[in-house]
Amino acid sequence: MFSTSSSLVAATIALSALSPVYARVVPRLTTPSTYDMSTLEPYFTYHARYLALGCEYNHGNDFFDACCHPLQINESLSNLEPRCTPDAGVLSSVSESLEGYTSTSSWWSSTSASSTPSPTASPVEDFVPATSDTWTPTSTWSSSSDTWTSTSTASAASSTQSGGFGTFFYQKGVAGACGTVHSDSDVIVAMDSALYSQSVCGQTVTIWNTANWKSVTATIADECPTCINSESIDMSVGAFQQIGDLSTGQLDIVWIWDL
């Protein structure tokens, strides 16, 4: 567990008061390369507000449209509706939890040749992770429409992705980014924004919990804008429970794109 994990406790508790039915909200470690810092507010400011408002749990409704997009660099919260101003205490807790991260650091590189996980337990028989990552994302941020547009496609589907974390979410009868409403028992996942695009909807990934090497194969049905990094995956309750207990909140994982 990383040293910054303890600083997340306050923010997690504060956020749970706003969205009690959700698992831990995990902050993103890096500023997306597609975030236009020359025209938009600082990413740290936007991301802290996004988490404090519980935007992750409001996709597809008018609150998200009104409150969950970054401001232009010359705008302020006064330009938005009053409901878009987060509780000061919650925002403070979230901001403190993010201070341990840097906007320029990254755990993942498309040219990395050392992505083999270091398991703390013996892996299942015949599990041989790959030794390189070959994913090449090409996502863009459009500030005029406030929407993410990704042209990424998965390549070398058998490459092992490591260094990520598995979390879980509840459906609440809301359609995911792929457009389908699922039940909590459905075995589906939400991919980090750096990897998500409509083209990956319906594809499957196989995920291993490195603590016990249990695995689950799940279908991509949603986007995760607040995952820690591009190797992290947000799972449905049905998927998460196949490899770990909900009480853990977060798992160390490795995973592959299925051929």
In a domain, 113, yes or no: no
**By percentage, how much of the chain surpasses pLDDT 90?**
37
Domain holding 57, by residue range, is 3-98
Q: List Cα–Cα distances, 177 to 35, 41, 124, 220, 221, in angstroms.
A: 20, 25, 33, 10, 7
Crossing angle for the helix pair 43-52 and 8-18, to the nearest 10 degrees: 50
Residue 134 is encoded by which pair of tokens?
């070959």
- Number of domains the chain contains: 2
What would the pLDDT profile of 92-133 be if each residue is shown by its tens digit? Answer: 877 776 664 433 333 333 333 344 444 444 444 444 443 333
Has residue 201 got a pLDDT over 60?
yes
Give the CATH number of the domain where residue 170 resides.
2.40.40.10
Q: Residue 130 falls within a domain, yes or no?
A: no
- Reported as a single tens digit per residue, the pLDDT across 59-90 is 778 898 899 889 999 999 999 999 999 998 88
Tracing tokens 């101003």 back to the chain, one arrives at 85
Handedness of CA 3, 132, 154, 129 (dihedral sign): negative
Of 47, 81, 98, which marks where a domain is finished? Answer: 98
Q: What is the distance between the alpha carbons of residues 69 and 45, in angstroms, rounded to a whole number?
A: 12
Q: Examine the domain organization and report whether 94 and 149 are in the same domain.
A: no
Q: Is the pLDDT of residue 152 over 50?
A: no
Distance in angstroms (rounded) separating the CA atoms of residues 89 and 135: 39
- Helix or strand holding residue 17 (H, E): helix 8-18
DSSP secondary structure code for residue 72 in this structure: B
Q: From the centroid of its chain, how far is CA 82?
A: 27
Whether 187 has a pLDDT exceeding 60, the answer reads yes
